[in-house]
Chains A and B, each alone.
Chain A
Amino acid sequence: MHNRAFLSVSKTYCMFKSGVTRTEKQEKKVADLDAFRAEVREWLEANCPASMREPVRGFEDIYMGGRKPEVRHPDQPLWCQRMAQRGWTVPHWPAEYGGAGLDRDRVKVLRQEMDRINARSPLESFGISMLGPALLEFGSEAQKREHLPPIARGEIRWCQGYSEPNAGSDLASLQTRAEDCGDHYRINGQKIWTSYADKADWIFCLVRTDSSGSKHEGISFILFDMASEGVSTRPIRLISGASPFCETFFDNVRAWKKDLVGEPGKGWSIAKYLLTHEREMISAFGTAPRQSLGDAALAHFGRDAQGRLASPVLRTEIARYQLDSLAFSATMERVGDEVKAGQGLGAASSIFKYYGTELNKRRHELNLAVDGESALGWSGEIYDGGVVCRDWLRSKGNSIEGGTSEIQLNIIAKRVLGLPD
């Protein structure tokens, strides 16, 4: 009786094939993945230094490479170099550009195995998370071969020259000019909030090569060396005390034409594509940290007679945060799987950027609530250099950088929900 009629569409029965039994091909795939996992596990065991299995302490403890890298621990460059030799700093990039050409399943296995031993990420950079994907999509063969491998090896560190004093959320109104001088452009203007401009080796920069059309036209996406004559930077101090970003000035800077990505005047779509990657990178902060806030709070407040965290309001807030964080991680997973299955969510990067950064801010507020006075320490060993406090302040920027939360909501309202202007 129940011949799968439940799959019929409004009683117009349609046939379907049941594919429940695993095919030989699938069996082989599973076996291959298992073999890969074993190989990764063994290699990591032998090559990941013990110091690199310790959690990162604050934002400043992340290794970003470059010509003059900031090294907090001598094992950082070593770990980076070892991983880069396997192509595992950018495992999903093609091998000819410094990656390992791994498919999504293998990348997942690599991440899981790294998590298993608490291995740190060997290298994080704007080159990996932003410029790389844009070059892979829009760069010429020569540009990819020149720029991608040094990113993968952590040799060249990049910064992002998008925002200007009068072009923040309204990025397309940018005014930095690039004049055509035959084999090169001459660049004049100012950028602001350029993260790590004073530490970076190269910049990917939005410039105006034509101001005759609408504001979205005439923008070009160009690359140049920060050591070029005419580039100067002035660090800006943040509320967290660090000075990771700068005002950046260009005074008759020469940029070669071969380093213009895509077509002149057509840089806006590249800029936007890159932003979706930036947003995904920033939103990853929203996933749950390894140490549970519940455990941390128990250490401070203990339990009541029923065994509950003896600070009922805080308990509720932590539970709400953790639940949303779980739902957020599940959504990252679902959207990843949907993309693999050829489905996918419109404007996913905006949803993640908005939600992930708001979640991350909530987490840092909870850190303060849990740690009390210890979290308000600014410096000194007793406060661990004020890392909890400074990271809390830094998190406020997450919902501003890469397009503010309000801008993400505008994008969702217009592009996904189709609401009018």
Chain B
Amino acid sequence: MALVLTEEQQMLRESARGLLASRAGVSHLRALRDAADSLGFEPAVWDDIVAMGWPGIAIAEDCGGLGYGHVGLGVVLEEAGRHLSPTPLQSAVLIGASALDRLATTAQRQALLPAVVAGERRLALALQEGAHHAPENTASPARREGRGWRLSGSKRLVLGAPGATDFLVIARSDGQPGDRSGLSAFLVPADAPGLQVEPRSLVDSGPAGALRYADLQLGDEALLGSPGGAWQGLETALDIANIGLAAELLGLSTEAFERTVAYLRERKQFGRPIGSFQGLQHRAAELYAELELARSLVLKALQAIDAGDPQLSLLASSCKAKLCEVAQRATNEAIQMHGGIGMTDEFDIGFFIKRARLVQHCFGDYNYHLDRYARLSGF
């Protein structure tokens, strides 16, 4: 497969840019933050996104989606990163829907995914328990009870929690923390009795939360896929999520970089544009080269999802690790090269570094994925 965007995918990019820039740009994010909006997105914007069909881009046609593939979804996410668009695209579509898609049985997928495509069901993945991503260490238990299940425990960093209609909870039905086997996935409605959803205020001012549940009673139909057998689907879903988040980081970093280069051209000191100083020119040029490399890896990894590449995990970890590194550098340089104004809340560049660190952290940061890359490479 050629490593380029097709004409159609480029059209999709224009389309995404048009909608997100006008309806869900950085000023929109600022307005939501200043209003301390608890939902974290504007329902009318979500309706527009649903009308565009984006929630169904990567979902198979037999589940009501467009079957257009993850390269398409990645293109949209890159634009969402560029504009820091506060929408449930990441939490509900990239993460929630992918997890459901990979964890559920065919019958469950066909029954549940059409509502996701229609924007009516917004899923949120409830996985992380500690301060760091470590899915195999999941400890909160799920116990068989009669024909159903009983779940207890707590989850943190549940992205999109305040606006979620359902949670996809990963729990341990067998084995010990650290085991890959023995994990099971459950679909839990947000209004399930015994489930507490606590909003959490994180650095990017996006909608996240924690879950607390004790003796949560679930019927057998709440189990997605087979009991104790969630690992494989979960791993693939996390690979997809990381690649999609890498696409978001690519957009975010590119935008932060372009804003910085524009500032270098315009800001004058010592009677000349600061962009004429070679010390800054070389740092900008190096960053540009890094961004070009990052772009290639993101596209390769997105294509690998659609091609069912057996090396998907290796590519996902390379891509997430690289984008964590580049996003960190791009956002740090953005602040430094703006000088004092870059430190002010009134200036938008701060929103980029805040969102970047959150996305970097989610589902494994640079250290996690560099280690995983080495492990998967056999050393």
Q: Which residues of A contact B (CB under 8 A)?
A: 1-2, 4-11, 14, 16, 18, 292, 294-295, 297-298, 307-309, 315-316, 318-320, 322-324, 326-328, 330-331, 333-334, 337-338, 340-341, 343, 345, 351, 354-355, 406, 408-410, 412-414, 416-421
The answer on a CB contact under 8 Å between A419 and B3 is no
- Do A298 and B11 have beta carbons less than 8 Å apart? no
CA distance A326 to B57 in the complex (A): 28
Q: What separation, in Å, do the CA atoms of A406 and B284 have in the docked complex?
A: 12
Which residue in chain B gives the minimum CB-CB distance to A320? B370
Contact present for B18 and A10 (CB under 8 Å): yes
List 6 tightest A-B contacts by C-beta distance, closest first: A10-B18, A294-B379, A413-B281, A330-B296, A412-B285, A6-B53
Minimum C-beta distance from A329 to chain B (A): 8
Residue in B11, B65, B284, B379 whose beta carbon sits within 8 Å of that of A9 in the complex: B11
Partner of A4, one of B53, B296, B370: B53
Q: Known contacts A9-B14, A334-B296; is A315 also within 8 Å of B374 by CB?
A: yes
A420's partner among B117, B273, B295 (CB-CB below 8 A) is: B273
How long is the Cα–Cα vector from A343 to B54 in the complex, in angstroms?
Answer: 26
Cβ of A355 and Cβ of B293 under 8 Å apart?
Answer: yes
Give Cα A351–Cα B284 distance, bound, in whole angstroms.
12
**Which chain A residue shows the least CB distance to B264?**
A419
Identify 16 new A-B residue pairs, CB closer than 8 A, beyond the known A294-B379, A409-B285: A5-B53, A10-B15, A10-B19, A292-B379, A294-B378, A297-B379, A308-B375, A309-B379, A319-B370, A323-B370, A331-B293, A331-B296, A334-B295, A340-B4, A355-B289, A413-B281
Contact A337 B2 (CB under 8 A): yes
- Name 24 interchain pairs, CB-CB below 8 A, sorted by A: A2-B53, A4-B53, A6-B12, A6-B54, A294-B374, A295-B378, A298-B378, A298-B379, A307-B375, A316-B370, A322-B373, A323-B318, A328-B293, A331-B296, A355-B289, A406-B282, A409-B285, A412-B285, A412-B289, A416-B285, A416-B288, A419-B265, A419-B280, A420-B272
Chain B positions near chain A (C-beta within 8 angstroms): 2-4, 8, 11-12, 14-15, 18-19, 22, 48, 51-54, 56-57, 65-66, 68, 72, 117-118, 261, 264-265, 272-273, 275-276, 278, 280-282, 284-286, 288-289, 292-297, 299-300, 318, 321-322, 370-371, 373-375, 377-379
The answer to whether A7 and B8 touch across the interface, beta carbons within 8 angstroms, is yes
Report whether A412 and B288 are in contact in the complex, using a CB–CB cutoff of 8 Å. Answer: yes
Report the separation of the CA atoms of residues A6 and B79 in the bound assembly, to the nearest whole angstrom: 14
Query: Using Cβ atoms and an 8 Å threshold, which residues of chain B touch A2?
Result: 53, 56, 65-66, 117
Assess the B286–A409 pair: CB atoms within 8 A.
yes
CA distance A341 to B322 in the complex (A): 26
> A121–B4 Cα gap in the complex (Å)?
28
Bound CA span A331–B48, Å: 35
- Assuming the A-B contacts A294-B374, A354-B289, are A330 and B3 also in contact, with contact meaning beta carbons closer than 8 angstroms in the complex? yes
- In the complex, are the beta carbons of A337 and B52 less than 8 A apart? no
Contacts of B54 in A (CB 8 A): 6
B56 vs chain A, min Cβ distance (A) = 6
Given contacts A330-B296, A337-B4, A418-B265, contact A322 B288 (CB under 8 A): no
Bound-complex Cα distance A292 to B54 (A): 41
Instruction: Kindly provide the distance from the CB of A370 to the nearest chain B CB, expressed in whole angstroms.
Output: 11
Contacts of B285 in A (CB 8 A): 354, 408-410, 412-413, 416-417
**A11 vs chain B, min Cβ distance (A):** 7
B276 / chain A contacts, CB cutoff of 8 Å: 419-421
Shortest A331–chain B CB gap in Å is 4
Whether the pair B261, A419 counts as a contact (CB closer than 8 A) is: yes
A294 and B377 contact, Cβ closer than 8 Å, known pairs A10-B18, A337-B2, A413-B285: yes
A312–B281 CA distance with the chains assembled, in angstroms: 35
Q: For the complex formed, measure the closest distance between the CB of A327 and the CB atoms of chain B, giving whole angstroms.
A: 4
Decide: B3 and A337 in contact? CB cutoff 8 A.
yes
Question: Can you name the residue of chain A whose Cβ is closest to the Cβ of B272?
Answer: A420
Q: Name the one of B278, B318, B379 contacting A315, with C-beta atoms under 8 angstroms.
A: B379
Q: A334-B296, A337-B2, A419-B276 are in contact. Are A409 and B370 (CB under 8 A)?
A: no
